[in-house]
Structure 1
Amino acid sequence: MYAISLGDDGAELRPLEPWRAEEFLTHIDRGREFIGQYIGLPHVVKNLASSRSFLQSYADKAAADAGRIYGIWMDGKLVGGVLFRTMDVEHGTAEAGCWLEPSAVGKGLVTRATRVIIDWAVEERGIHRVEWQASAENQASIAVARRLGMTRDGVLRESYPHRGKRHDMEVWSVLAPEWRAARGR
């Protein structure tokens, strides 16, 4: 197994595989309410079987080259993650996403981890467009998109039903030439 350092603060990015289901569930339980404010992950990962099933679905996506999931560890503790919810290599598109438990907020972990996976997608897999979708109310996620140099493409009005409410979703993206140009600066 490998780990990619995210800086000198002990943060690492690692594959989040099915054998880590118990650790993943414990992590989700620690941040269940916070994580679930804007995304449905805590509603899907409720017990060990569903945790394993969720991670297996991403192992299957990885095997089909259709998605990936990575955990963010801080000093050996799983505190969040980033993923390619979808990835279409043939068409050169991917949708990235993230989550964190409260103890990990405000450290730049998501921005650093997402940079690593976008670099990989653009340079290794030939992805041309990486999307980021966030509830219009999720200012922290929108701030990540901005820090990554993404452009706001628009708003999908009331497109995401979550916790009994329909949310506007902002769509942000970065194109491979923009990504490379920003990295070169």
Structure 2
Amino acid sequence: MFKVQIDSKTYIQTLEKRHAHELYQLINGSRVSIGEWLAFPTKTKHVEDSEKFIENSLKRFTNGNGYWAGIWHEGKLAGSIGFLYIDWTAKKTEIGYWLGAAAVGRGIATIAVKQFNEPAFNELNLKKIEINVASHNTKSRAIPERLGFQHEGTIRNYEYLNGEYLDREVYGMLREEWRTGNESVACNEV
């Protein structure tokens, strides 16, 4: 598969079945913080659930319909990032990401999202990247805003999670808006 070194402490690598235990442990140890904004922790009850997730992601990768990768920081799995799908007709994708509780606030997700722009625009030749974020998740909203994504609107009552309806903010970046190398995003930025 692939591995991309982002800086001396951080790299992104395709999730493989051998990562299932480490992925499950990260989700299990951060169940509350991740589950505040995303539904998948409640569905991840055993290592086998992580194995199945990785297996499905690799199938999607093989079929050209997105994939998930792990984000490693200082030698430990810190989170995950992926192309949720690839719409080849519209030439767009959506980037999803999450971090374990210990990795939040270090700029790790920001540099990972920035890194994912390059293959979306250059290798896959897509025209647009979207990021959807829970409206009240200010830390996650700061990532597309910091990277120059445009706020395109709010999807009201997007999902029902933890006993309440959550709205989603939609951010987008068009190929012509993308700036490579014009901004320096370090791993310690918040």
**Structure 1 and Structure 2 fold alike (TM over 0.5):** yes
1:24 aligns with 2:23: yes
Contact 1:158 1:166 in 2 (8 A): yes
SS in 2 for 1:183: coil
Question: What is the aligned-residue identity percentage?
Answer: 29
Question: Per-residue displacement from partner, 1:30-60 (whole Å, max 9, x unpaired)?
Answer: 1111111101121222101111111111111
Counterpart residue identity of residue 151, structure 1: Q
Aligned partner letter, 2:4: I
Give the counterpart letter for 1:163 in structure 2.
Answer: N
What SS does the aligned partner of 2:173 have? Answer: strand
Name the Cα RMSD after superposition.
1.3
Moved over 4 A (4+): none
User: TM-score, length-normalised on structure 2?
Assistant: 0.91
Could you tell me how far 1:3 is from its partner in structure 2?
2.8
AA of the residue aligned to 1:122: F
Measured after TM superposition, the shift of residue 112 of structure 1 is 0.7
Q: Distance in 2 between matches of 1:161 and 1:57?
A: 24
Mapped partners of 1:2, 1:82: distance in 2: 13
Match in the other structure for 1:160? 159
- Secondary structure of 2:180's aligned partner: helix
Native 8 Å contact 1:6 1:109 kept in 2: no
Shift of 1:116: 1.3
User: Which stretches in structure 1 are left out of the alignment for 5+ residues?
Assistant: none
How many residues are paired up? Answer: 182
String of CA shifts for 1:104-145, please: whole Å, max 9, x gaps.
111111111111111101100011110100110100111001
Q: Distance in 1 between matches of 2:108 and 2:64?
A: 25
Q: Which residue of 2 aligns with 1:6?
A: 6
Whole-Å separation in 1 of the counterparts to 2:85 and 2:31: 23
